[in-house]
Structure 1
Amino acid sequence: MLSWIPAVQPLLLAAVLLWSARLKLAHPQAEAAARRSALAQLVGEARALPAYRAVGAVEAAVAVALLVPVTRPLSGYASAALTTGFVGYLIYARVAAPESSCGCLSATRTPVKWRAFARAALLVAASVLAATATTGWPAVLAAHRGAAAAVLLAEVAAVLALSAELDRHWLDHLRQLRVRLTHPLPSGGFDIPLASTVEQLHRSPVWHDTAGLLTSDLREHWDEQEWRLLLFTARHGEHSVSAVYAVPRLRYEPASVRLALVDEQTGQTVATHTTTPDTPLPDWVRDRQPVAA
Structure 2
Amino acid sequence: MEHVAAAQPLLIALILTWSAYGKLTSPDQATRTALPRLLSFVTADGEARAITAYRTVAVLEILIALLLLASWAIGAVAAVALSVGFVGFLIYSKVVVPEASCGCAGKSARPVGNRAIARALLLLATSAPATFATANWWSAGTGLLVLVVEAAAFAVLSAELDRYWLLPIRRLRIGLSHPYAGTASDHTPLVATQRRVLLSPAYRAVDGLLRSDIHDYWDDDGWRFVSYAARYDGRRATAVFAVPHEDSTPESVRVALVDDDGLTVYRPTVLATA
TM-score scaled by structure 1? 0.56
User: What residue is the counterpart of 2:3 in the other structure?
Assistant: 4
Does 2:178 correspond to 1:176?
A: no
CA contact (8 A) 2:7 2:144 kept: no
The alpha-carbon deviation at position 176 of structure 1 amounts to 2.7
Runs of 4+ in 1 over 6 A off after TM superposition: none
Task: Give the distance between the partners of 2:31 and 2:163, measured in 1 at CA.
Answer: 22
Does 2:23 correspond to 1:30?
A: no
User: What residue is the counterpart of 1:100 in the other structure?
Assistant: 100
Alignment of 1:230-269 (within 5 A): none
CA-atom RMSD, angstroms? Answer: 2.0
The alpha-carbon deviation at position 110 of structure 1 amounts to 2.1
Equivalent residue letter for 1:22? Y
Task: Using the aligned pairs only, state the percent identity.
Answer: 46
Q: Secondary structure at the match of 1:47?
A: helix
Alignment of 1:118-157 (within 5 A): 118-140=118-140, 144=141, 147-157=142-152
Task: Give the distance between the partners of 2:150 and 2:31, measured in 1 at CA.
Answer: 30
Equivalent residue letter for 1:42? L
Equivalent residue letter for 2:11? L
User: What residue is the counterpart of 1:164 in the other structure?
Assistant: 159
Does 2:43 correspond to 1:46?
A: no
Task: Give the distance between the partners of 1:52 and 1:22, measured in 2 at CA.
Answer: 11
Equivalent residue letter for 1:81? A
Residue number among 64, 67, 91 corresponding to 1:65 in the alignment: 67
Query: Cα deviations across residues 136-184 of structure 1 (Å, max 9, x unaligned)?
Result: 11111xxx2xx4443111111101111123211221123334555xx33
CA contact (8 A) 1:110 1:165 kept: no
The alpha-carbon deviation at position 11 of structure 1 amounts to 1.0
Question: Which structure has the higher relative contact order (CA within 8 Å, separation 6+)?
Answer: 2
CA contact (8 A) 1:8 1:148 kept: yes
Larger radius of gyration: 1
Aligned length: 175
Q: Secondary structure at the match of 2:30?
A: helix
Q: Secondary structure at the match of 1:121?
A: helix
Query: Cα deviations across residues 73-107 of structure 1 (Å, max 9, x unaligned)?
Result: x1111100000000111121112211111000121
CA contact (8 A) 2:80 2:127 kept: yes
Does 2:15 correspond to 1:16?
A: yes
CA contact (8 A) 1:30 1:107 kept: no
Task: Give the distance between the partners of 2:129 and 2:99, measured in 1 at CA.
Answer: 33
CA contact (8 A) 2:108 2:159 kept: no
CA contact (8 A) 1:105 1:166 kept: no
Equivalent residue letter for 1:94? K
Question: Structure 1: any 5+ residue segments left out of the alignment?
Answer: 191-293
Task: Give the distance between the partners of 2:144 and 2:177, measured in 1 at CA.
Answer: 36
